[in-house]
Every structure is written in structure tokens, then in C-alpha cells.
Chains A and B, each alone.
Chain A
Amino acid sequence: KNEVEQSPQNLTAQEGEFITINCSYSVGISALHWLQQHPGGGIVSLFMLSSGKKKHGRLIATINIQEKHSSLHITASHPRDSAVYICAVRSERETSGSRLTFGEGTQLTVNP
């Protein structure tokens, strides 16, 4: 079993729909990252969080440390949101640097 599990693996939505991507992890963490990878391949950091909730534009990320679970929500989805969304965690045992363990990603396609 992977340390970081994402669901769903693939998600197709219509423009305007509310989207939720889930991430569960099995280790104690000090931080969780949500990343976006566009078809061109580049990876962009969306959020880093260790508790509660963060919002940036139409994106909202939440985390429940006790349940070892995080969600990424996209409100009013748009075709330009089509990308792979990746969850990654930093172990609480990490003492220096910030090695991350990644989920396999969720391929999101938003149709017009």
C-alpha cells in the first residue's frame, strides 16, 4: 500500500462543476503539498498546508491531521483547470531538507 493514496485516479467534469480530489496518507506528516502538472509537463506548487484550510482563487485545500486526509476543491471549474493534481507529504521525521512522498496523481479533464 502506498504511503499516499489519491482518489479518484481520473475525473471528468463539465465546466462549472464543483470538483473534489482526495488524498489519504498513512504516516505522520509535518506538511502536505498540492501540486498541479499541466499537459506540457511542468509542475507547479498550489498549496502547502499543515492544518486547517487554505484558499487561492477558485482553489481550496483542506487537511484533517487526525484523519490523515486532505481534499482539494475546485469551484466553478473551467477547461483550463484540466491537469494532473498531485498530493505529496513531508514526513514528520524529516530533520533537514524536505523530501516529499508523492501520490500517483489525479487526471482531471474539464469539458466545455
Chain B
Amino acid sequence: NAGVTQTPKFQVLKTGQSMTLQCAQDMNHNSMYWYRQDPGMGLRLIYYSASEGTTDKGEVPNGYNVSRLNKREFSLRLESAAPSQTSVYFCASSVSGRGYGYTFGSGTRLTVV
């Protein structure tokens, strides 16, 4: 059982380049999330999808877009990367409701130069 699979694990981008972070879960979870983690700060929510077919902004959505492709997959796109987007990105999923089964991917370390 793979849980939450994130790709890639590492990425270096030049300012202005675009890329998509992929996330897939095999636990039949309804809800999926993208968080970023920066030094000295707690994880912050970028976007989330409470259920298939819906997406909503989180705390720090600027510069990002998401697609809930199907129940399994939730991708995060940076259209024009900026150095401020250098961070570690985590995808997560949970059963809807209180958050039973909250499971995180292994993270993507992104550096924008």
C-alpha cells in the first residue's frame, strides 16, 4: 500500500519557469491538500480539495494553481516560479470529516534560483 506518492522529490527551477508537482493517493480518501513548509514556520495550506470536483484556496495560494484530476490525483502547478516559492511541498490526503487517516507524501524540495 503506497499511501500518498509525490513526484518529484527534488527540483531546481530558474525564475520564471513552470512546473507541476504530482500527487496520487491509493487510500480512497475524499480530501487532498497541498502544504508548504518553510524554516521557522509551521506548514501552511496552499490549496485543498475537500472532495473530487472541488478545489479551494488555502492560506497562501498566490502563484499556484491546482487540479483535482480524479479522486486519486491532485496536482500543484507553478506557472512562473519565483525565489519566494523555494520551499518543501507536501501533499496530504484524509477521509472527509475530522481528518481520519491523515497521510502525507514524502515531500518535494523545490529550489527556485
Which A residues are within 8 Å of any B CB, using their own CB?
A: 2, 4, 30-31, 33, 35, 41-45, 48, 50, 86, 88, 90, 96-105
Contact assessment for B104 and A99 in the assembled complex, using a CB-CB cutoff below 8 Å: no
Q: How far is the CB of B87 from chain A (nearest CB, A)?
A: 12
Which B residues are within 8 Å of any A CB, using their own CB?
A: 30-31, 33, 35, 40-45, 48-51, 58, 88, 90, 92, 94, 96-100, 102-104, 106-107, 109
Q: How far is the CB of B95 from chain A (nearest CB, A)?
A: 8
**Nearest-CB residue, chain A, relative to B94:** A98
- In the complex, which residues of chain A have a beta carbon less than 8 angstroms from the beta carbon of B51? 96-97
Question: Which residue in B41, B44, B97, B106 is a CB contact (below 8 Å) of A98?
Answer: B97
> Within the assembled complex, what's the spacing in Å between the Cα atoms of A45 and B94?
11
Contact assessment for A48 and B100 in the assembled complex, using a CB-CB cutoff below 8 Å: yes
Contact assessment for B45 and A99 in the assembled complex, using a CB-CB cutoff below 8 Å: yes
Contact assessment for B33 and A99 in the assembled complex, using a CB-CB cutoff below 8 Å: yes
Contact assessment for B40 and A104 in the assembled complex, using a CB-CB cutoff below 8 Å: yes
> Within the assembled complex, what's the spacing in Å between the Cα atoms of A103 and B43?
8
